[in-house]
A = this chain, B = another copy of it.
Amino acid sequence: MKNIETYIENNKDRFVSELFSLLKIPSVSADSTFSDKVKDCAQAVCQQLQAIGVDEAQVYSTPGHPIVFGQKMIDPKLPTLLVYGHYDVQPADPLELWDTDPFEPTIKITDIHPDGAIFARGSADDKGQFFMHIKAFEAMEKTGELPCNFKFLIEGEEEVGSIHLEEFIKSHKEMLSNDLIVISDTEMIAQDQPTICTGLRGLSYLEVEVTGPDLDLHSGVYGGAVPNPINILSKMIASLHQSDGKVSVKGFYDGVLEESTQSRAQLNAVPFSLEEFKNSIGIADIVGEEGYTTIERTGIRPTLDVNGIWGGYTGEGAKTVIPSKAFAKISMRLVPGQDPDKITQKFVEHFQSIAPPSVKVKCTPHHGGWPYVLPEDHFGYRAAKIALKEGFGKEALPLRGGGSIPIVALFEKVFLTKTVLLGFGLNSDVIHSPNENFGLRNFFKGIQTLPIFYRVFSELKMGKM
């Protein structure tokens, strides 16, 4: 690997400059005013693939945002690795909380990143991370042999639920067939602590609307005598959790696979400081389901959160109104054993059942996603473990992720293959928040380590290890 390290060292400025050119394109998938920019970004990604020799790379249109696909087939006898990533990004708002322009990538030295970090929307989620694979491929190809066939699938709708991906992969099943999928869109437990994400939570997401009177009313004339949808929605939301922190939706925990004592012990062996955790986000106390640690609460337990709430007068000053309607966006994170469509259905039934007769309730489901687990005896997990040990000089730790990447379960259903979640980000990257950033150290460590993973994957699959 010395050649690869030398190659990377000699080309690192260009690597960063190429990543910058992708980061500068505001590929915000959730906001239709950025549609053209999203298309531009797809083209830019395609060009990057072509530049490293993936000459069959192409941009595919969908009814939504484009999908980029390219492959380098070395030898049909070699195993095939599919690299998945997404070039779309979260909206950057609230803009006023960014210290630098979210689409003008800026390198800053920080306490966590004394070697510098790239501050930009998408630097960690996901452009910086998928781009490591493109540069790892380039470094390997230029200095030796590629150990396996490669397929790159980089889509543009991950942040909005990958709504057109299912149709695409089903209608291009042969083209995308693979032995393993790898995704870099997750985080390490700590800097220089290699981590394999062995699970992802599923997702169920709804918008609810509670209607009281059929028009806004004067709260003096009517206050105390009519249903106030804000007060009632608050009561309904409050009732969604029991005092022990469990979600009270009827049937929510049915079928939830309890983790074994050994598995839980392993998860909790991961280094974690509660004080640091609390300080990092400025809270005086944590909350959650009784009987579970913080790591367990976010990794192996299903949860419910209200992501947005609004109703009535929210402007400057005072207005004494009883509004006609109140609204909330509610999501649930799911674990193996839970079916997102069934959970959504259970939520709707439960929510309707707890509504008092004085109001009308409407529930509108949004996109969801299945939970996912990678067993530790799977060759993909083993390849990651070996490669990370070699790359970092340290044992990799397994971690059950709190977030959802719904297409992972979809991939398993369509291709019958597993996905290895091999990310090099950090919690301090604050993805989805203002001042998202990705460490240069992490970026280059990934580019150095991934070739090892490619090689070990190939050898394990071929039975040579």
Residues of A with Cβ closer than 8 Å to B?
30, 90-91, 97, 160-161, 187, 201, 203, 205, 212-228, 230-231, 233-235, 237-241, 281-289, 294, 297-298, 301-303, 305-314, 316-323, 326-329, 331, 333, 356-360, 366-367, 401-404, 427, 430-434
Contact = CB atoms under 8 A, between A and B. Distances in A.
A310 B309 contact: yes
A309 B201 contact: no
A110 to B, nearest CB: 15
A437 B73 CA distance: 75
B367 A318 contact: yes
B203 A320 contact: yes
Determine which residue in A205, A285, A310 has the highest number of CB atoms from chain B within 10 A of its CB, and name it: A310
Nearest to A321: B307
Contacts of A356: 285, 287
22 contacts: A214-B282, A215-B434, A217-B432, A218-B431, A218-B432, A220-B298, A220-B401, A225-B402, A226-B287, A227-B286, A228-B305, A230-B305, A235-B237, A238-B238, A284-B357, A307-B312, A307-B313, A308-B319, A309-B310, A317-B366, A320-B432, A321-B432
Nearest to A241: B231
Which 5 residue pairs of A and B lie closest in terms of their CB atoms, listed nearest first?
Answer: A220-B403, A214-B282, A224-B303, A308-B312, A238-B238
Nearest to A159: B319
Nearest to A247: B224
Contacts of A225: 286-288, 294, 297-298, 402
A234 B311 CA distance: 13
A462 to B, nearest CB: 35
Contacts of A321: 307-308, 432
Contacts of A201: 220
A212 B231 CA distance: 21
Contact of A333 (B205, B224, B294, B301): B224
B226 A237 contact: no
Contact of A216 (B221, B227, B283, B432): B432
Nearest to A220: B403
A238 B236 CA distance: 8
A306 B224 contact: no
